[in-house]
Structure 1
């Protein structure tokens, strides 16, 4: 049996992204301890021989390339520091109608704003979130905690040592990123907003120009109608 399909089977059955370290542990096992509490010389590996970390990494890279082929409706992606099988985006509309999804309610605007602040400013206290948003964030923070999109990462050194919040591993899995640095940069949002403003200005200019073009024939018609009415009055 080859090593690649073994690694593939481990990734396939996992409900969460699996790390190379976890795969290595599955294949090689963990050192057994003897009666005296000393580690055994050889771990109970399942593979025909102990597998190295480089071999696992090479196998995962091979899986990434294998499922890029268009014949597969799914792919292996790096998420939250691990690897997981996911349906390709082009098949999402079909899968969406097939799978009964849990918790289909979308995040409120307040929750999304709070989550964005946490994602880009973490670790951050609730007071800092409220200073940025200008409103109380208790409800939004609790909702994000309930959905496991954020987590408490520690305490600040300031007075009262308030709690610090950051994004969770599930946040990265949910949004399809491998690490927080994969999030779009704020400059990208600014450029996108500027592009939208340019399109809006062009649209407004087209409307104004179109309005002026419509106004000229209308003025001509009104002038002609006025002249016609005047002539009819003179004839009468």
Structure 2
């Protein structure tokens, strides 16, 4: 993979990451990449950002890289971020949301089975944030509650409708490979970036 092919991939990974991401983690995500190539891509991206007067750059921070706003734009960004700041979703919350989004309506027992851990606390948190809602009860023993996503879920992830989610066959493949939460995380990252640019 040449530098011009690598740069947008590195840029997307750093942009989507909620916290500083190490060069090693980036290398692990990109087949054929090396630490040296990734660092070259980061340096090249930062040169392009500076030459074109972009308001952001990739900053080395806490052992990794993160896309940050240039300090001179801080006064405007702070006005928006303070006004629209929202708590980030944990990995467990993203994983649970991915399962609900792809399998809805789905019971807690099914969610727990897929995740391999108890999801009571995560479900409570997602209900409180209005990202999921109770969709009724299952016609099985004990009549467990079923969960579905909400309009707030769509807004939060920048989706127009659930039709933008992958089809059932793709959903099964994503869940089997564990990529469902990754896709939601990328969508959340893209939405956060768009909100920052709106200000």
TM-score of the pair, normalised by structure 2: 0.44
TM-score of the pair, normalised by structure 1: 0.38
Larger radius of gyration between Structure 1 and Structure 2:
1
Tell me which of the two structures has the higher relative contact order, counting C-alpha pairs closer than 8 angstroms and 6 or more residues apart.
2
